[in-house]
């Protein structure tokens, strides 16, 4: 029965292909660049986010009164459920009062790694 065999091979291949394509949609499985670098993330955060977000509480306390008043990254890292996947998603969306950023996937991944790394340090 060569015909049936060939048909099932094609079926199996298209399932496999569909599986691969579906995986591309999941940031950590396919689309998210690896490995993320907390060091690079800190540099990006310094450039774009530092006006409102200090690294940790002591840096936050030392800031001038006119600085924007976002929570420190260390504080965010300690919040429930703020893992890299959450932060990766968060940074793709708009969040008032934060300005709208168009970060590269690489930068989002790096910033997520940076924020999560602060949880371990504190």
How many other C-beta atoms lie within 10 A of the C-beta of residue 78?
13
Task: List the x/- string, 47-76, binding to ligand HEC by CB under 6 A.
Answer: -xx-xxx--------------x-xx----x
- Rounded to whole angstroms, the Cα distance separating 96 from 85 reads 20
What DSSP designation does 28 have? I
Task: Give the torsion sign (CA, 24, 26, 29, 35).
Answer: positive
Q: Rule CB under 6 A: is residue 30 a binding residue for ligand HEC? A: no
Give me the least distance between CB of 11 and ligand HEC, in Å please: 44
Residues that bind ligand HEC (CB under 6 A): 45, 48-49, 51-53, 68, 70-71, 76, 79, 82, 87, 90-91, 97-99, 101, 111
């Amino acid at each position: 029965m060569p015909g049936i065999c060939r048909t099932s091979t094609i079926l199996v291949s298209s399932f496999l292909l569909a599986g691969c394509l579906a995986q591309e949609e999941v940031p950590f499985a396919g689309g998210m660049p690896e490995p993320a670098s907390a060091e690079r993330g800190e540099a990006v955060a310094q450039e774009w986010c530092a006006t409102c977000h200090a690294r940790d509480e002591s840096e936050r306390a030392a800031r001038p009164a006119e600085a924007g008043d976002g929570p420190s990254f260390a504080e965010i890292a300690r919040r429930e459920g703020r893992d890299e996947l959450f932060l990766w998603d968060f940074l793709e969306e708009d969040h008032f009062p934060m300005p709208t950023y168009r970060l590269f996937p690489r930068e989002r991944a790096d910033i997520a790694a940076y924020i999560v790394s602060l949880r371990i340090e504190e």
